[in-house]
Amino acid sequence: MALSVQISLPNGKSYEQPTGLFVNNEFVQGHGERFTVIDPVSEGQIIQLQGASSDDIDGAVAAARAAFEGEWSELPSTERGVFLYKIAALIDRDRDLLAAIDAYDNGKLLAAAEGDIEESFQVFRYYAGAADKITGRTIETSPQKLAYVLQEPLGVCGQIIPWNFPLMMLAWKVAPALACGNTVVLKPAEQTPLSALYFGKLIIEAGLPPGVINIVPGLGPVAGKAISSHVGIDKVAFTGSTATGRAIMREAATNLKNITLECGGKSPCIVFDDCNFEQAVKWSHFGIMDNKGEVCTSTSRIYVHEAIYDRFLERFVQVTKENDKLGNPFSTETLQGPQVSKPQYDKILSYIEQGKSSGARLLYGGAKQSAQGYFIQPTVFVDTTEEMAIVREEIFGPVVVISKFSSTQEVLEKANNTSYGLAAAVFTEKISKAHTVARKLQAGMVWINSSGESHYGIPFGGYKSSGIGRELGQYALDAYTQSKAIHVNLSEE
């Protein structure tokens, strides 16, 4: 059976797409359930893939374990860095194709996908440079004792990535894991597996030893569960919904795996009356509508001071109308593509109906955009109350709720009244207020006078039900290593 097909992309590019699992530097046939990758623009089939079974996961784990116990973890750190630099160079070379692949099966704007690939390139370069800078320390106790600490790799790392930033989330997880000397078994989302499988070709070209990276597309309840519960896996890193994160935590208890969970959010955006008004509107809009709202950090709850509330609503709706240009992600005229899948599309529409029936005022949007494709208008609800589902629950789409506040204490109580704690944004020109409010917000990341920004050198992660641990920066190196204390008796006693 052929394990690749020719795919023609909407921008005219054509390429050879691998269709098998990538294990031990070979594309092999999966034995799990078949699943279909759908084009969210046309709702037509892009490709069918044979997913990984639990036996296939066993094989991938065995390959990763052999590689870890073989040459990879013993490889000098500078040489691991060289491999990461090679991967970065190959991503750079193929950036146009990789961006087109992600835009095709995700529905995101091609320009946005190009930004994702740029970050993927930079992430691999960053951790290539970090590979030989992972150091232990000596600890002074007494002249009779030498004590030192080694930072060692964890072993085989299972990684489960989401569909909203396909290759970028792969980079966020794979690059630091490899820099630290671990090996990887990675499951891409079943909605968007194409760029991850293509990445397997780059692994071969970069010359990585067999088994260092294994890519096993498949269904979450089968392949994902097999990874999170596998006793041969030492760590699991996951990005996705909080509900799935809880399930992974339970399954990881089989051997008390080290875990990193980056889960959902319902992030607040606080707009004070002393803000730079136009900047606040611009960034507040970007914070929820970027990537068609399919961003875990989306600032989907906007609280506006009563003194500027009406003015803010008028301007926010005006900006939303100006950006209400839905269509093919490959068109330069398009400002918003389709939602990733039919289930996600239906979920968002159901929340919009809940918002209407619960008494929230629909100020703009809320409609299906066309008969074909998973297109939903950017949607603005106002005059909401805190008990409404559209205020409490993560929608993961282009839907925002806006309400007013009168005091700092009031808005902090509302902002923190959530089970989530991923991100938050604050808009004010008063520096003392900005820092005081940022400190009091229960969130792993706070933006002052912007929204939705990240950088590969800055830690990314949340409080409460938004996850455990941090990705990116030096913090990811901590997440993929463990400390070993060595005690040496120097005395003759």
What amino acid positions are annotated as catalytic residues?
262
Contact 153, 100 (CB under 8 A): no
CA dist 278 → 287, 299, 429 (Å): 14, 17, 12
C-alpha 411/C-alpha 405 separation (Å) is 6
